[in-house]
Homo-oligomer: A and B are copies of this chain.
C-alpha cells in the first residue's frame, strides 16, 4: 500500500479514536518526505474549518514559514470538500490523492456532496447577497492603488 496514504489513514484513525472529528486524515509530502500531518479536529477544537486537509496545510505552512506550498503533494483519506479543495488551490498544492469519494463520505453522514451540488447548481444567489458595493469598491481601489503592497 502507498506509504503516504498509510500515514494519512493513521491520522484519520486518531480523529475517530479520540472523538476529535470524522475519519479524515491528511499528510503533505515534499521531495518524497512527509512535512506535515493533520486530521479532522472539528469537535475537539470547535473549529468547523479544521478538516484534515486544512489542519495539514496550516502545519506545513508553519513548518516551511510560507503560505505557498508549491511543489507539495497532499494525501487524504477522503475526497476534499469544496472548502478544502479550494484551500489546496490557494496553497498551490501540486496534486491531491484521495481514498474515499464524496459519495462514500455522504454514506457515512457528511454533507460534502450537497455542498458540491450547491455550487454546481448555482444556488449561491439565495444565500450570498450583495450590499454596499460602492463603499466596498472604495476599499478595493485603495488596495489596487497601494504602492507598497505585497502581491500574493
Contact = CB atoms under 8 A, between A and B. Distances in A.
A78 B84 CA distance: 20
Interface string A85-98: 11111110001111
Given A43-B67, A49-B87, A82-B83, 11 more contacts: A2-B131, A5-B136, A9-B136, A46-B61, A77-B136, A79-B128, A95-B129, A96-B127, A99-B135, A107-B144, A119-B120
A146 B97 CA distance: 26
A54 B22 CA distance: 20
Interface string A40-72: 001101111100001001100110011111000
A65 to B, nearest CB: 6
Contacts of A58: 47, 49
